[in-house]
Structure 1
Amino acid sequence: MAVREILQYGDKRLSTICEPIKEINKDVLDIIQDLKDTLYDGTGIGLAAPQIGILKRVILIDLRSGGEPIILINPEIVEASGSECDYEGCLSYIGYEGEVVRPTKVVVEGLNEKGERIAYTAKELLARAFCHEIDHLDGILYMSRAESMYEVVEEDEEE
């Protein structure tokens, strides 16, 4: 469909709680395609519908490790365990990273593109990505959870 503009920190839509999807129809499938087009146009590993200005509960995660992308509609974390502090970044806050404490393991349930109930048990980076993207659906940006924030500075290559 289309590569959409990714909303940036300060846009009020990023702090809005998103509406659940009641029916999977062409509009929802179009949102999913726009999420894919937009994510694959850049370098991130996840994207939530509110980041492209659509206040609906849909996320896309692709760790870019050769596996299938994960698309979840109305996702919910139903179980979480462990705890780890690690770095996170966000396509809606380019140029910064923060240290965020997240669970090391989560169980996430939601619907796939066909409307089938599906569950994922995720560990480490995938668990972190689920937490980060689901936070977007609740209007929460990772910076509000960060223990510290850093500006990402590119080092000059010496010739």
Structure 2
Amino acid sequence: MRKVVTYPNDVLTTPTQAVTHIRQDTIELLDDMYDIMLEEDGIGLAANQLGESVKIAIVELDDESGLIEMINPVILEEFGKEINVEGCLSFPDVYGTVERAETIKFWYVNREGVSTFDEASGYLARAIQHEIEHLNGGLFTDKIIDRLTPEELEAYMEDKEYD
């Protein structure tokens, strides 16, 4: 079973390679990523977080947004700015506020090979940006404005009326 790679590991800061063909190993990776994301209580995961240097990421914020499986994703447009808290499975117990676009338009290919244009706002847009940043070798820790301890995170979430 694959495991989440934690920082420091060069695979996290090295840009990933485009997927040229969707093969059985691509589908198996997507399935493994989903299982591991759920097991680790995450809302997103990039392939390089499992040591696989390919442009594949998944996000599932909630039942409403559903699972978004992205192969070779690209952000096409960004609108607005918003600061909110983030964490990362590759950085256990590290949290901080990060500025990101409030709304994005993005493109990706799904597991069936279908080219998809989509738009996301709010925390879903944030999660997608975070995962695409991973695929490009970027880390949210490089963008942290204010770092939060796990206790401060809990207070922050209560203050923002998150559950």
Equivalent pair of 1:57/1:74 in contact (CA under 8 Å): yes
Q: Identity of aligned pairs, percent? A: 32
CA contact (8 A) 1:58 1:71 kept: yes
Partner AA of 2:144 in structure 1: A
Residue 129 (str. 1) matches residue 127 (str. 2): yes
What does residue 72 of structure 1 align with?
70
Secondary structure of residue in 2 paired with 1:139? coil
Q: How does 1:59-98 map to 2 (within 5 A)?
A: 59-98=57-96
Distance in 2, Cα, partners of 1:153 & 1:138? 31
CA distance in structure 1 between the aligned counterparts of 2:11 and 2:62, rounded to whole angstroms: 27
CA distance in 2, matches of 1:99, 1:66: 24
Match of 2:136 among 125, 138, 156: 138
1:105-156 deviation digits (Å, cap 9, x = unpaired): 001101010111001100001110111000000111100011121221388x
CA-CA distance at 1:24 after TM superposition: 0.5
More helix by share: 2
Is there any run of 5+ residues in structure 2 with no aligned partner, and where? 155-163
Determine helix, strand or coil for the equivalent of 2:69: strand
Gaps of 5+ in 1: none
Q: Hey, what does 1:14 align to over in structure 2?
A: 12
Aligned AA (1:9): Y
Aligned residue pair count? 153
Q: TM-score, normalised by structure 1?
A: 0.92
- Do residues 100 (structure 1) and 98 (structure 2) align? yes
Letter in 1 for 2:77: E
C-alpha separation in 1, matches of 2:134 and 2:119: 20
Alpha-carbon shift at residue 40 of structure 1 (Å): 1.4
The separation in 1 between residues aligned to 2:137 and 2:18, in whole angstroms, is: 13
Q: Please, what TM-score do these two structures have when normalized by structure 2?
A: 0.89
Q: CA RMSD in A?
A: 1.4
Question: How far apart in 1 are the matches of 2:4 and 2:144?
Answer: 21
- AA matched with 2:38: Y
